[in-house]
Structures are given as structure tokens and as C-alpha cells.
Amino acid sequence: MENVIRVEALAKVFGNQTALENVDFQVEKGETFGFLGPSGAGKTTTIKILTGQLMQTSGEAFVFNIPTSELKKGMHRKRVGVLTDNSGLYERLSIHDNLKLFCDLYEVPRSRIEEVLDMVNLTNEKKKAVSKLSKGMLQRVLLARTFLHEPDLLFLDEPTSALDPTNSKQIHDSLRRMNEKGTTIFLTTHDMTEAETLCNRVAFLNKGKIQLMDEPKKLRRQYSDNTVIIELKDGRELKRTSGPEHAQEIYQYMMDDQIVSIHSDEPTLGDIFVDITGRELV
Amino acid sequence: MSFSLKRINAIFQKDLKDLSKNMYIGSIIVLPILMAFLYSIGDGETPILLHYLVINLALSSVTAFIQCAVIAEEKEKNTLRGLMLSPASLTEILTGKSLVSLILTVVTIALCMVITGYEPTNLPLVILAIFVASLFFLALGTLLGLLTRSIIEASVVILPFIFLFGFGSMAKPFIEEITWLKFMEYLPNSQLEEIAYGVEVGAGFSDILENLAIILVWVLVGVILTIFVYKKRELD
């Protein structure tokens, strides 16, 4: 599989503070890769290096096999969409006018504006001045701008942090559709539910170092204590190991029609993160 | 380096629309026009010095200030980064962003010339000189805009330059007595005045070449510094 992002021994030091230390990872074409960690873990620094907004102190970073320091050429810019905490909009202009500018800059037909506004549920607000929008709406306009040129690679830094659950779900659906069409997504978040919903693979970043990296499902299984939770009709909740030693007991409950639900007791990504780093994801 | 007229036009159209809704920045063009009205009051011919006080004020307040403010606002609102991350090149961004200031300068200076009744003997030569000088003021505005973090900061930082280049001619009588003020003779505004005086006594293109070359050096220095700072600003 082709690598879209390749990072080798990446380090970034600000003064005497180490933001990233010996970071290695690769993101394959068509993958949704989650870069997870609490605030200050180094997620935004990584995105800024990968998008050519920041120079690393040492190590290598490649996007489309091109060193990130050489990503400034227009043809490469057209392949990448970036949403970071320092993305801004022209406040005196309408949503439509903001998107029109970027349509022309990316040489995209203006008919695309309606499509992206639909993706972020803002079709009816397009004539509104940006200065009159709520924080959530601003975030959705920024996402629409990022989707405008249908990039091959999307860098999204906390894309749904300001959104309500309904709009978050709509953005997740849009991201899934883009991913199905072949867009590679590099997502930073501290929302573990978002990561579990969207990502093929996740990396846990803590204090500038990658602590763990794998598929969410595999991680949950790996950190599972192999127990199942059995909820019975009499209100009891039993916790049993999933091995053969309890098979007969569970079978009996089933035969007696006593079971309301039975499910594995896997940890969430958040639980695993806390387990590994001893830090909460805030 | 790419050069797309479509991208330049997109940035220009955006700035034009944005600036038309920005009273704070837009109202600055009143300043030289008001001054032109003041100087036009009274009988008799307005001396070259006064015509160029108005023109130089237009260049420093309209060209440089507006350019400085729009760039500083792009930085303040984090929109410049959006342009930098787009396929638009440095040339496209800076050209697009300079067009509005340039057009407002042309309109303001033309209005001022009509108000003060300035009719140069060789209009094309004067227009050429003003155009070259305006490139310096655009570079100055862009540079200061890139160096500052907000419109308020930009408005303060540019003030000494408005005084120096806009009202610098007023210090001319003191140049003979105060040696260190001699550098003012080489400022673009002084060179512009020298060209204007020359044109009135029949100077042609070859006669003003030296003055134009001095202004061009200022343009070159301004452009080089602007590119250097822009490149630095592309990185956090």
C-alpha cells in the first residue's frame, strides 16, 4: 500500500521545551488515521510540520513522498486540505463569498459551494455574514472550505470540537463518504468516541511521544480482560471471564431465558489511554 | 513560480468587497482629499511643494496605510495563513492584495490633483514617477503589515512613516543647517518633488533617470525585505 504520510524520528523543540520526541509513523492511502492525545501532547505541532507551517528540529517528514518543507508548490497545495486552530474567515463577508474566494484560488467550479454547504448543513445560511455566526457554524464553514477542492489528504485538527452532537454526526458522515471516495484523513482529537467511529488506526501521543499505535478494535481487544457482562431479567449484572469455565453457567441462563443482554467488557480508547499514560484526555 | 490572473482577481475582488464594508480603513482616503481642499482655498497658483505635500500624504496614508492595515488584519484574523496554504503563490497573493490600495491611490491622487489644480507640464512623466513611488509605498505597507500583529498595532507603527514620507518635505528648509537631516533628500518623497520641479523647467525622461533610479532602489529594498519577512511568516 502507498504511504501518503511518512514520519521518521521527528522531533520539535521550542526553546527548552520538547514538543515532539522521536516520533515515527506512516499513514497509508485511503486510511483515516487518528492522532490522539490531551491538549499540549504535540498533535497540532505535528499537523503544522506536516503541512509545512512549522519546521521540525530534527527527523524527516514526507507527504506524498515529498519533504514537507517543499510542499509549498501550488500543485501540492491542491492535494491537501488543512483545518487547524489558526484557520480564519473573512468576517465582513458572507459564507458564500468566503467560499467563492477559495473556489477561485483552488480553481474549483463555483457549483461546488452548494455541495460543501450541504455537507456541513449550512445551505440556508450561505448569505449570512461570517461575523454573525456562532462558534459551531464558524467551524462548519471552515470544514466546508477544507472540503471545497476535494483534497487527496485532509488534515483535521479537532474538527468537531465546537459542534453539537447532530452536526458532529453530519460531519462524521461526510468524512466517511470522503474517505470511501479515497481521501486519506489525518485527524487529531481528544474525543475518543470520534476516533473509534472514524479511524482505521490510532496513535496515542503523550508528552510528544507516541505511546501506542494500532487499530482501535485490536487495542480494545489487547487491553480487554476477557470478561463478558451478563444482564439478567431479575436485575442482576454478572461479570464472567469469557473462557470455557463459565460456558455451562451462561448456557444455563440462556436455556432459562434469563438473559436481557450479554456483551464483552472491552475498555474504551479513553480507558486505554489513561491506563498507559496515567493522564486524562482533556 | 505560478502567476494566475484568476487567483489575483479573486483576492482583489475579495479585498474590494471587504474594504467597502470597513469604514475604519476606508475613511483614511478623506485625509489627503481634505488637505487638498485646504490648500486649494485662496487665490493664486499653488506651489509645487504644496501639491506634493498632498500627493506624498496620499501615498503614505492611502497606499502604505491601507496596505499595512489589510495585511495586518489578515494576520490578526488568521486569514493570511489560509491564503498561504492555498495554491496561490507569493506573487499572486501580494499582487492581489496590492491592487485595491493601488486603485484607491490612483483615485485619491487624481481627485487631489483636480482639487489643487495641479497640471504638470509633462503628465506622463509625472504619472510614471508617482507610479514607481507608489510601488515603494506598497512594499512599505506590506512589510509593516507583516511585522505587526493587529490593525491597532499597524496603525501605530505606520504613523512615523506617514510623518516622514508624508510631511518630510516640511523639514527641507532645515536640511542646510542640520547635517544629519541630509538623508531626507534621498527619500522617495523628496525625489518625487525633484522630478516635479524638473518637469516644470522642461526636464525629459533622461534628466529624471537618476531620481527614478533612487526611488527604484527604495522599491527594491522594500520588496526584498517584504519577501524575506513573508517567507518567515509562512512558518510559525
CA-based nearest residue to B134, from B158, B174, B156, B104: B104
Q: Are strands A17-28 and A3-14 parallel, antiparallel or unpaired?
A: antiparallel
Instruction: Return the percentage of chain A with pLDDT > 70, whole number.
Output: 99
The tens digit of pLDDT for each residue in B108-165 reads 999 999 999 999 999 999 999 999 999 999 999 999 999 999 999 999 999 999 999 9
pLDDT value, residue A86 = 77
Nearest to B10 among A53, A72, A104 (CB): A104
Q: With the CA atoms of B141, B145, B151 and B155 taken in that order, what torsion angle do they form, in degrees rounded to the nearest 10?
A: -40
Return the H-helix or E-strand segment holding B147.
helix B123-147
The tens digit of pLDDT for each residue in A106-132 reads 999 999 999 999 998 899 999 999 999
Distance to chain B for A278, nearest Cα, Å = 31
Calculate mean pLDDT across residues A60-89: 88
The tens digit of pLDDT for each residue in A175-225 reads 999 999 999 999 998 888 889 889 999 999 998 999 999 999 999 888 888
Residue type, A63: V
Return the H-helix or E-strand segment holding B8.
helix B5-20
Q: Is A105 on the interface with B (CB under 8 A)?
A: yes
- How far, rounded to the nearest angstrom, does the alpha carbon of residue B82 sit from its chain's CA centroid? 26
The tens digit of pLDDT for each residue in A141-186 reads 999 999 999 999 999 998 888 788 888 888 898 899 999 999 999 9
Tell if the CB–CB gap between B83 and A82 is shorter than 8 Å: no
Distance to chain A for B168, nearest Cα, Å = 36
Q: What is the mean pLDDT of each run of 10 residues along chain B (236 residues)?
A: 87 94 84 91 81 94 94 93 92 94 95 93 95 97 95 94 86 76 87 93 91 96 96 82
Rounded CA-CA distance B96/B6 in Å is: 10
The DSSP result for B209-224, as a single string, is: HHHHHHHHHHHHHHHH
pLDDT value, residue A281 = 62
Rounded CA-CA distance B219/B225 in Å is: 10
For cell 491622487, name the residue: B109
Residue A53: closest C-alpha in chain B: B235
Strand order in the sheet with A32-36: A80-83, A153-157, A184-189, A32-36, A201-206, A209-214
pLDDT value, residue A265 = 81
Rounded CA-CA distance A99/A259 in Å is: 54
Q: Is B231 on the interface with A (CB under 8 A)?
A: no
> A155 — phi, psi (to 5°)?
-105, 115
Calculate mean pLDDT across residues A249-271: 89
Residues of A within 8 A of B83 (CB-CB) are 105
Rounded CA-CA distance B57/B152 in Å is: 20
pLDDT value, residue B177 = 77
The answer to whether the beta carbons of residues A228 and A69 sit under 8 Å apart is no
Residues of A within 8 A of B79 (CB-CB) are 88-90
Other Cβ atoms closer than 10 A to A84: 21
For cell 491564503, name the residue: B83
pLDDT value, residue A167 = 86
Q: With the CA atoms of B138, B66, B190 and B113 taken in that order, what torsion angle do they form, in degrees rounded to the nearest 10?
A: 110
Which residues span the domain enclosing B146? 5-233
Tell if the CB–CB gap between B81 and A86 is shorter than 8 Å: yes
The domain segmentation of chain A, as residue ranges, is 3-220, 225-265
Tell if the CB–CB gap between B7 and A51 is shorter than 8 Å: no
pLDDT value, residue A84 = 84
- How far, rounded to the nearest angstrom, does the alpha carbon of residue B58 sit from its chain's CA centroid? 7
Q: What is the mean pLDDT of chain A?
A: 90
Calculate mean pLDDT across residues A1-25: 93
Buried b (16+ CB within 10 A) or exposed e, A167-206: bbebbbebbeebbeeebbbbbbbbbbebbbbbbbbbbbbb
Whole-angstrom CA distances from B154 to A105, A186, B25, B70, B104 are: 27, 36, 11, 10, 19
Distance to chain B for A151, nearest Cα, Å = 12
Nearest to A93 among B17, B88, B234 (CB): B17
ipTM: 0.87
Tell if the CB–CB gap between A53 and B79 is shorter than 8 Å: no
Q: Domain spanning A3-220: which CATH class is it, in words?
A: alpha beta
pLDDT value, residue A201 = 96
Q: Is B5 on the interface with A (CB under 8 A)?
A: no
Instruction: Evaluate if residue A242 carries a pLDDT over 70.
Output: yes
Q: Confidence class of residue A280 from pLDDT cuts 50, 70 and 90? A: low
> A167 — phi, psi (to 5°)?
-70, -35
Q: Confidence class of residue A246 from pLDDT cuts 50, 70 and 90? A: confident
The answer to whether the beta carbons of residues A34 and A47 sit under 8 Å apart is no
Distance to chain A for B3, nearest Cα, Å = 10
Q: Is A57 on the interface with B (CB under 8 A)?
A: no
Tell if the CB–CB gap between A74 and B22 is shorter than 8 Å: no
Distance to chain A for B22, nearest Cα, Å = 8
Instruction: Evaluate if residue A282 carries a pLDDT over 70.
Output: no
Domains in chain B: how many in total?
Answer: 1
